Amino acid sequence: MKTVPREFIIEAWERQCALTSSASSALMHQFMDEQPAIGIYLLVCDEQLGGDAGSDQLIPLAAAVWEAMTRMRGRRLKSVRPKTIERADQVSTRTLETLEESSEFEWRESVTSVFFGCNQQPLLAFCVEILMAGNEEAPELTPQSVGMEFFWLKTVIDCFDQ
């Protein structure tokens, strides 16, 4: 898929933020209906966070990504199959395992490589901005859950980008 312009994700996110509670619920139901495997994956991921501060952004960000990518494509995205998610998640897990054993220099190089290796950099960058909101002054104090959410969202983006 062509790279989704930054404006598409900003518009999708701002639209979601402006929705009433019932409209937001309807959008989430539509997202879960059209992408049930992604929905289950995200619910399991969200559950792993166990109520960490900021964890309420994961599913809405994924829905905004879905909406922006749907707009880019001009029609519904193909429903992502569980095997596709499993493969993408395995890649993310291997990357995380490598990062755990890396020096700070290697860690920065690996993260840079992950980011620049993504076809949908504007989407990924926007997700990072939202996840890091409020932590700009002291990014080293960012909860570890933000890193997990980053990789989960990258997994979702990679699945939609097939």
For 9-29, write each residue's pLDDT tens digit.
Answer: 999 999 999 999 999 999 999
pLDDT at residue 31, as a whole number = 97
- The mean pLDDT of 52-61, rounded to a whole number, is 76
Take residue 49 and report the two structure tokens written for it: 């966070």
Q: How confident is the model at residue 65 (pLDDT cuts 50, 70, 90)?
A: very high
Residue whose entry in the numeric block shows the structure tokens 């994924």: 62
Query: Higher-confidence residue: 42 or 136?
Result: 42
Cα-based angle 42, 92, 140 (whole degrees, multiple of 5): 90
Instruction: Quote the pLDDT of residue 52.
Output: 56
Q: 3-state class of 58 per DSSP?
A: helix
At residue 130, the pLDDT reads: 93
For residues 47-69, average pLDDT: 84
The DSSP string of 91-146 is HHHHHHHHHHTS-HHHHHHHHHHHHHT-TTHHHHHHHHHHHHTT-SS-GGGS-THH
Tokens of 79: 């429903």
Q: Kindly indicate the confidence band of residue 55, based on its pLDDT and cuts at 50, 70 and 90.
A: low
Buried/exposed 113-144: b ≥16 CB within 10 Å, e otherwise: ebeeebebebbbebbbebbeeeeeeeeeeeee
- Using a pLDDT cut of 70, give the percent of the chain over it: 97
Residue 138, pLDDT score: 75
Q: What is the pTM of this model?
A: 0.88
Tens of pLDDT, residue by residue over 67-121, are: 999 999 999 999 999 999 999 999 988 887 887 787 777 777 877 888 888 899 9
